Chain A
Amino acid sequence: MSTSLIERFQNGNRLALARVITLLENDATRRESLLSTLYPLSGQARRIGFTGPPGAGKSTLIDRIVRVFRLQNQTVGVVAVDPTSPFTGGALLGDRVRMQSSWDDPDVFTRSMADRTSTSGLSAATPDVITALDAYGKQVVIVETVGVGQSTLDIAEITDTTVVVLTPESGDSIQAMKAGLMEIADILVVNKDDRDGAGTFSADLRMVLEMRQNMGDWLPPVVRTSAQNGSGIDDLHARILEHQTHMNTSGQLEIRRLRQGRAAVTRAIDERVTNILSGVHEFESIMGALSKRVAGRDLTPMAAADIVLSKVGL
């Protein structure tokens, strides 16, 4: 069973890749064994993240940049995350609408996924899906986060180059700063350059970036693009490669990968602890009783947590 799926995966069967991704997302048991096979096969791909506010043009831009990578004969995998409705658990995954120009290219594989109401703009399974695409042999893996504009900090924990996409309508640079987007950007894109205000906004962003302290030796470039008419795309591609070369030669890549490794272990510990706890006898009723006491201000949340942890000897 399992072996034949992995065999097909390793033979480059895209149905097997698609099914592996489904299992990583949904089947906790299969996920463990799949990952132990996939992990040693991965680690080769360039990992690039695209984040930024809703409607900034992330998908349209990715569609364009994928073609540039394809012209360089690089195989590409794309993961596009859209939000899960917290009310129904359903999701409308619409990024593909803007990512169609490589639909018949066998070396481009695109997968949409719901964030399953994680708050990071990524789903808990996104890192695993990246691992799968990487292990499958994709040389470039591109991730599009949910267009949150806030708490997207996780993207740097799974990609090597983070591209933050803004538009002249994104407001002023203060808003981008508040949202933490300036800190995580390795490259800033002002998309919709075909519209008014792109020049001023870019100059603004550049000034803010240049004033920042403790920058290290990489000053994030500000690239103006129009994903609609294609201008600036080659420049963006060149900047991405430049950043990756910088990461390699400066030793930053190693540091970032180490940080990613640590984040991955932390996530796994969280998951394991949550699993262990939910296996505690009468877990739900204990939680119910404690929540009531916390809500009634009879107990602090920390004291309640200690009670739960003590059930498993922690």
Chain B
Amino acid sequence: MTQKIRVLVAKPGLDGHDRGAKVVASALRDAGMEVVYTGLRQTPEMIVEAAIQEDVDVVALSILSGAHMTIMPRVLELIRENDADHMLLTGGGIIPKSDMAKLEDLGVGKLFGPGTSTRDIIAYIQNEVTERRKLVDD
């Protein structure tokens, strides 16, 4: 079956605006994906619960607050607790290279810095989802 890629886009944290998240959401939509957009001020618990109900392939977070070292690992932990390991956790924001490496070691997917072309994000998601779907069996 050729199933549409489903992505949840959310903006965790209490700060600021969701412009970045909206740009990514519409770019993914334009690439033919079905994007569930949940908006601002999402806690890791809210994000993972929505991701489960929506059965998404990808959780994409936009983090500007600098809270990535607490939010990303927590979301990953919840994904694992819920037996939803097939989901790819990715995202972007102002994240230092060294933190990116630490998060990737934990099992978070590739993270994208400011100014990344949405084309790169799209290509990454498409490849990664294709690979992961080969492993899922229900």
Contact = CB atoms under 8 A, between A and B. Distances in A.
Contact of A26 (B4, B28, B37, B83): B4
A19 B82 CA distance: 14
A90 to B, nearest CB: 4
Interface string A21-45: 1110011110000000000000000
B53 A88 contact: no
Contacts, number: 87
Contacts of B30: 85, 88, 90
Contacts of A91: 29, 34-35
A28 B84 CA distance: 24
A103 B37 contact: no
B29 A90 contact: yes
A129 B7 CA distance: 19
Contacts of A90: 4, 28-35
Interface string A112-130: 1010000000000000000
A15 interface: yes
Nearest to B6: A22
Contacts of B54: 18, 96, 111-112
B29 A104 contact: no
B120 interface: no
A104 B6 CA distance: 22
A5 B138 CA distance: 7
A302 interface: no
B36 interface: yes
A97 to B, nearest CB: 4
Tell me what chain A mostly uses at the interface: helix, strand, loop, or mixed: mixed
B55 interface: yes
B61 to A, nearest CB: 15
A14 interface: yes
Interface of A: 1, 4-5, 14-15, 18-19, 21-23, 26-29, 84-85, 88-94, 96-97, 100, 103-104, 109-112, 114
Given A15-B82, A90-B31, A92-B29, 6 more contacts: A5-B138, A18-B52, A27-B3, A84-B34, A90-B29, A97-B39
30 contacts: A1-B137, A4-B138, A5-B138, A14-B53, A15-B82, A18-B52, A19-B55, A26-B1, A27-B1, A28-B1, A85-B29, A89-B32, A90-B4, A90-B28, A90-B30, A91-B34, A91-B35, A92-B29, A92-B35, A93-B34, A94-B37, A96-B36, A96-B38, A96-B39, A97-B37, A100-B38, A100-B46, A103-B46, A103-B50, A114-B4
Q: Which 5 A-B pairs have the closest CB atoms?
A: A18-B55, A90-B29, A97-B39, A26-B3, A90-B32
